[in-house]
Amino acid sequence: MLGSIDKEFGFLHQALGLRSHRQQMLASNIANADTPNYKARDIDFAAELSRVRGGQVGLAVTDPRHLRSAASSLAEVKELYRTDVQASIDGNTVNMDMERAQFTDNALHYQFLVDRISGKVRDLLLAARGQ
């Protein structure tokens, strides 16, 4: 039972860290929409989550019950550059409609993960109280 709880919280922790990192990247794209020669960046979320879950990166832990941190792997996230849909005269590749849509989609996924973690913690607290 405890192992499955650790695995689920570990997964949620890693996914939340990646969603947070992606949100910062998307916000940076939006903030630099008028910066000449700025290249919009993003990540392949599914590929990065798979990489992190595969155990290719991570912090050393002193106890097997510790949650593995996604923070260490965020420095190794492969940033991708978006391709130009329509060429801009100043070389900027930010498409504001796409960035807003991606930002909103990512925010919804982030909130889902937060709600999922909150629900799991609430369930554990209720179980601990015997309710």
Average pLDDT over residues 102-127: 95
Is residue 108 predicted with pLDDT exceeding 90? yes
For the record, the structure tokens of 12 come out as: 């949620």
**Which range, of 1-15, 37-51, 102-116, averages the lowest pLDDT?**
1-15
| End-to-end Cα, the chain, rounded Å | 18
Task: Pick 97 or 130 by higher pLDDT.
Answer: 97
Residue 77 pLDDT grade (very low, low, confident, very high; cuts 50, 70, 90): confident
Q: What is the dihedral of CA 60, 62, 65, 71, to 10 degrees?
A: -30
Residue 58's pLDDT is 46
Scan for tokens 């949650």, then name that residue. 67
Q: What is the pLDDT of residues 35-74, one digit of tens each?
A: 999 999 999 999 998 888 775 444 455 666 665 554 555 6
Please state, in angstroms and rounded to a whole number, the distance separating the CA atoms of residues 50 and 108.
Answer: 20
Tell which residue, 28, 113, 102, has the closest CA to residue 70.
113
pTM: 0.78
Domain boundaries in the chain? Answer: 2-124
Average pLDDT over residues 98-120: 96
Please state, in angstroms and rounded to a whole number, the distance separating the CA atoms of residues 27 and 22.
Answer: 9
Number of neighbours of residue 49 by Cβ within 10 angstroms: 19
Residue 70's pLDDT is 47
